[in-house]
């Protein structure tokens, strides 16, 4: 397992973080495209503040549950959508290197019951979106975590 840590400040809602990140989805009149479920109503505003975000790279395919278990065993909780976007906004170069997954905030689709998490997807030009959490994440995915409070 490899890790890298970064300082981020959470001070905005999801829509503001998307705007500040310079993301643009031309297929939508609102600029959000098929990622329009990455909203404050699905991922409510978090407590403001500074956090140290750590990226975990396990170098193997794994489920969300396996990634969460490994982070917790290392003393971390899974990172949230806000923390993922804040990190990506500060370190935009990471968008071109690998996909980043935030398993700490989950949106449950009302009709289907599917659970979705926020992802910055390298294969979608580094754009943020939401993806079902019940997938097998590829070995190149990086998961964000934050040190758990004792």
**Residue 105 is part of a domain; what is its CATH number?**
3.10.100
Q: How does pLDDT run across 120-148, given as a tens digit for each residue? A: 886 666 678 888 899 999 999 999 999 98
The range of the structural domain enclosing residue 77 comes to 2-37+55-147
Q: Report, as an integer, the average pLDDT of 64-88.
A: 95
pLDDT at 28 over 50: no
Task: Look at residue 72 and tell me if it is in a domain.
Answer: yes
Strand pairing class (49-57; 142-147)? antiparallel
Interatomic CA distance for residues 57 and 69, integer angstroms: 14
Task: Look at residue 140 and tell me if it is in a domain.
Answer: yes
Our count of domains for the chain comes to 1
Q: How does pLDDT run across 37-67, given as a tens digit for each residue? A: 788 888 888 788 888 999 999 999 999 999 9
Task: Look at residue 63 and tell me if it is in a domain.
Answer: yes
Task: Look at residue 44 and tell me if it is in a domain.
Answer: no
Q: Which helix (H) or strand (E) holds 3?
A: strand 2-10
Q: CA triplet 70, 72, 74: central angle to 5 degrees?
A: 75
């Amino acid at each position: 397992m490899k890790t890298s840590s970064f300082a981020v400040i959470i001070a905005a809602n999801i829509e503001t973080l998307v705007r500040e990140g310079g993301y643009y989805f031309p297929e939508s009149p609102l600029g959000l495209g098929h990622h329009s479920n990455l909203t404050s109503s699905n991922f409510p505003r978090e407590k403001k503040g500074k956090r140290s975000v750590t990226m975990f790279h396990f170098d193997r395919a794994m489920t969300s549950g396996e990634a969460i278990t490994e982070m917790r065993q290392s003393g971390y909780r899974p990172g949230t959508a806000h923390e993922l976007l804040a990190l990506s906004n500060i370190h935009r170069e990471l968008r071109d290197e690998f996909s980043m997954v935030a398993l700490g905030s989950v949106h449950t689709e009302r009709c289907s019951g599917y659970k979705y998490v926020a992802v910055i997807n390298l294969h979608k030009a580094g754009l943020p979106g939401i993806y079902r959490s019940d997938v097998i994440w590829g070995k190149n995915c990086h998961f964000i975590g934050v040190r758990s409070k004792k």
